[in-house]
Amino acid sequence: MIHYQENEKYFHLQSEHSSYLLRILPSGHLAHVYYGSKIASVESIDKIEIRHHIEVGSQVVYDAADKTFSLNNAQLEISTYGKGDFRDPMLHFRLADGTRVTDFHYASHEILANKPHFEGLPETSASENSPCETLKIVMEDAIVGIAVDLYYSIFPAIDVIARRCVIRNGSSPILIEKAMSMNLDFPDHDFQLLSLDGAWIRERHLHSRPLTFGITKIDSKRGVSSSDHNPFLALKRLHTDEEVGECYGFSLLYSGNFEATAEVNPHSLLRILLGINSFDFYWNLSPGEAFVTPEAVLTYSDQGLTRMSQNLHELVKGHIIPSQWRDKDRPILVNNWEATYFDFTEAKLLRLARTAKKLGIELFVLDDGWFGKRNDDNSSLGDWTVNRQKLPSGIAGLAEKIHRIGLDFGLWVEPEMVNPDSDLYRAHPDWAIQLPNRKPSLGRNQLILDLTRPEVGDHLFKMLSELFSSAKISYVKWDMNRSFSDVFSGSLEPKRQGEFFHRYVLGLYSLLERLTARYPEILFESCASGGNRFDLGMLYYMPQTWTSDDTDGIERLFIQYGTSMAYPPSTMGAHVSAVPNMQTLRNTPLETRFNTAIFGLLGYELDLTHCTAFEKNVIKKQIAFYKEHRHLLQFGRFTRLKNPFDGNQCIWMSSSEKGDEALVGVYQLMAKPNGPAEKIPVRGMDPGLHYRVQNRRQYFNLRTFGDLVRHALPIRLSANGTLFNALSNHYLMANETDDLPMEGDLLNRFGFVPKQKFIGSGYTDQIRLMGDFGSRVYHIRAERKLGV
């Protein structure tokens, strides 16, 4: 609900659990007053404004008529530089006469019953059962003729506010040097700042730091949102944890260079800014033109970080990804990349597909290496014609054969790229991003195509449309494997070169808009060397993202845990791959690789034809389990219960909305002998229901035991003997059985006690063998109402 109170000139934006208050000051500036737990009524709003009653030394007095008012001491909703506010501003302009000072005052406002649509950029959208009111406030600097429209749209049920600003230019040309999507000034800085930082194969690790005086900044200058820092940050009170306490989450729907800053000024006011990176950015705005910033989303929780994440998850699932994929189960896939790399033939792929089909897999994805003369990563990006030596029946023929096996067919492309060794580059060297006078630096031997040029977008649209229409393709993996360098576009006049990065993103979005509109039935998965472009902007077009090139089941715990701060499991591609793992050389057990991947979108990415009979049997059972619980795993309410960044364990769970079912994943890093007593926490169960807790049936290979196998089995076997080898290939040794009838209330408050862990003094079928990198999944299902 949005309410305007005329007397005190304040706006109250209310969601189910939060209030956001802003006020028009006597000076005409728009002040931020409050953001936090819901306030029912605000009659004495003037009492919660931090104000001075006497001039503060060394401040710039905004207007001699009121010596107590200085912008540097105000909490603002829109800020500029030059009238006494010395913090980093939200907006900065270079005006036609060379001056840089602007000052915006309230002009008008409207409360809209819906959410206005802006062409060309990703955006959140209301839905039928979740409408969205919008507050539009027009701020004007009448002296220079610029207006700024501030938009606030509320998603009441999930406590989310979407913000953006639109800059409209009046009379003379201006240069926008900085245009943030949001400015939020808190009255104190007693927060820790959480960010998701990392690198290739170590994406979105969770970091937190206390805020103190000065500027804390995360950003990307890579041209993509990047794995250096995700365009997300959270603020939490010092004692806030996953379940208790106040916190705020901020995310940007944008896939290019971004910046997020938290600035604490000498008066302990905290300013949060989020938007397009102002580094290496400017934008020429002619009279009559408008500049629309990307949308930023904010959420508030007074029930800890888990609730903050769940709000963002619901936003992504219900209001960002394409509507046809909302709540729609995603297929279990096999991808040939880590199975074959570039070295495949049609026969090899078909063998892989046949094995996959027998195990229950639903979709076959052909990755890199199917086009041009691409047998390694040195050439052919740009030449999207099939390599007939590898695939004599072409993509259409292969897709047909895959369908006949009983699998859907998916294809990898990396359209934004070109190798210097390609026909496309030889024909259009000017389409590649490079400077006229310098040798370009390469990344993975490739250059980026200049999507600021409409003809490049048109070429890609035509080429991809032909490709996608040429065969039965139901899934596309859209890769992007380098960051930007040597940035210049021959199609932009010198005064527009600073517009390059944003124009590239707009060019990309326009291409994605056209393609996804033309092929709504294709499931697109975005990828950028794994998670180098995992952001809400890409999710607007493509409902899922390849989370990381790191497929090790243990590293993925950290990556998926961090990612879950802002993104739900239904966005995270997660595959079981071979051991030793390609990125870590770690031998994570097959069951743990699976137990991690199922809290995401399950796939297999290994040569299944090389798997032993034991492995195939286990995988078949895994897939059957995932199919049975797929919807809960992909779309359930995700709750973090134990943080792997803090210790030796990771626990998380996914529960149904009604609370009648849940799956809990429990993972340990290193085995500890004779360790502490254990109980597994559970949340969100219905106190009125009675449940049954059962562990998933998992299987050990006898090799786990080596010579100790004689202690685990009633027969005498010596490791490495012929009988042992034969048995270990076929014998599936089951884990312990947990089967606990329990009340919902007890589960919520106490959790449950699993079987005792192996401590070295013997083994029976009542012992929980975890070992290094061990894991379990527990299924909790309501059986009846209490007292029935």
- Closest CB to ligand DGJ among residues 42, 363: 363
Number of residues that bind ligand DGJ (CB under 6 A): 11
Q: Least Å distance between CB 607 and ligand DGJ?
A: 15
Q: In Å, what is the CA distance from 557 to each residue of 199, 228, 237?
A: 16, 18, 25
Q: In Å, what is the CA distance from 516 to each residue of 101, 317, 461, 470, 478?
A: 42, 17, 11, 16, 12
- Closest CB to ligand DGJ among residues 540, 546: 546
Beta carbons of 327 and 319 less than 8 angstroms apart: no
CA–CA separation, 254 vs 508, rounded Å?
A: 11
Binding to ligand DGJ in span 324-343, by CB under 6 A: 337
Q: Least Å distance between CB 370 and ligand DGJ?
A: 11
Q: In Å, what is the CA distance from 178 to each residue of 199, 280, 482, 502, 604?
A: 27, 10, 26, 12, 44
Is residue 549 annotated as part of the catalytic site, yes or no?
yes
CA–CA separation, 590 vs 598, rounded Å?
A: 12
SS3 283: strand
CA–CA separation, 33 vs 74, rounded Å?
A: 10
The one catalytic residue in 159, 549, 550, 686 is 549
Amino acid at 95: L
- Closest CB to ligand DGJ among residues 309, 481: 481
Binding to ligand DGJ in span 684-703, by CB under 6 A: none
Concatenated DSSP letters of 624-674: HHHHHHHHHHHHSEEEEEE-TTTSSEEEEEEE-TTSSEEEEEEEESS--TT
Binding mask 193-222 for ligand DGJ (x = CB under 6 A): ------------------------------
Q: Which residues contact 647 (CB under 8 A, 6 or more apart)?
A: none
- Closest CB to ligand DGJ among residues 530, 681: 530
Long-range contacts of 44-51 (CB under 8 A, 24+ apart): 45/5, 45/8, 45/10, 45/21, 46/8, 49/23, 50/75, 50/187
Is position 230 an interface residue for ligand DGJ (rule: CB under 6 A)?
A: no
- Closest CB to ligand DGJ among residues 369, 543: 369
Binding mask 523-552 for ligand DGJ (x = CB under 6 A): ----x-xx---------------x--x---
Is position 225 an interface residue for ligand DGJ (rule: CB under 6 A)?
A: no
Binding residue (CB under 6 A) for ligand DGJ from 367, 416, 525, 615? 367
Q: Which residues contact 720 (CB under 8 A, 6 or more apart)?
A: none
Query: Environment class of residue 590 by beta-carbon count within 10 Å: exposed (0-12), middle (13-18) or buried (19+)?
Result: buried
The label of the residue with tokens 């078949």 reads: 620
Binding residue (CB under 6 A) for ligand DGJ from 368, 525, 535, 738? 368
Strand ranges in 547-591 using DSSP code E only, listed in sequence order: 572-577
What DSSP element (H or E) covers 611?
Answer: none
Q: Least Å distance between CB 403 and ligand DGJ?
A: 22
- Closest CB to ligand DGJ among residues 173, 443: 443
Q: Least Å distance between CB 565 and ligand DGJ?
A: 22
Q: Least Å distance between CB 476 and ligand DGJ?
A: 12
Is position 479 an interface residue for ligand DGJ (rule: CB under 6 A)?
A: yes
Q: What is the DSSP letter of 621?
A: H
Q: Least Å distance between CB 575 and ligand DGJ?
A: 9
- Closest CB to ligand DGJ among residues 77, 203: 203
Is position 88 an interface residue for ligand DGJ (rule: CB under 6 A)?
A: no
Is residue 376 annotated as part of the catalytic site, yes or no?
no
The one catalytic residue in 368, 383, 421, 479 is 479
Binding residue (CB under 6 A) for ligand DGJ from 311, 481, 547, 595? 481
C-beta nearest to ligand DGJ: residue: 368
Q: Least Å distance between CB 527 and ligand DGJ?
A: 5
Q: Least Å distance between CB 424 and ligand DGJ?
A: 17
CA–CA separation, 563 vs 527, rounded Å?
A: 15
Backbone angles phi, psi at 600, to 5 degrees: -170, -160
- Closest CB to ligand DGJ among residues 411, 432: 411
Interacting residues toward ligand DGJ by CB under 6 A: 337, 367-368, 412, 479, 481, 527, 529-530, 546, 549
Q: Give catalytic residue positions.
A: 479, 549
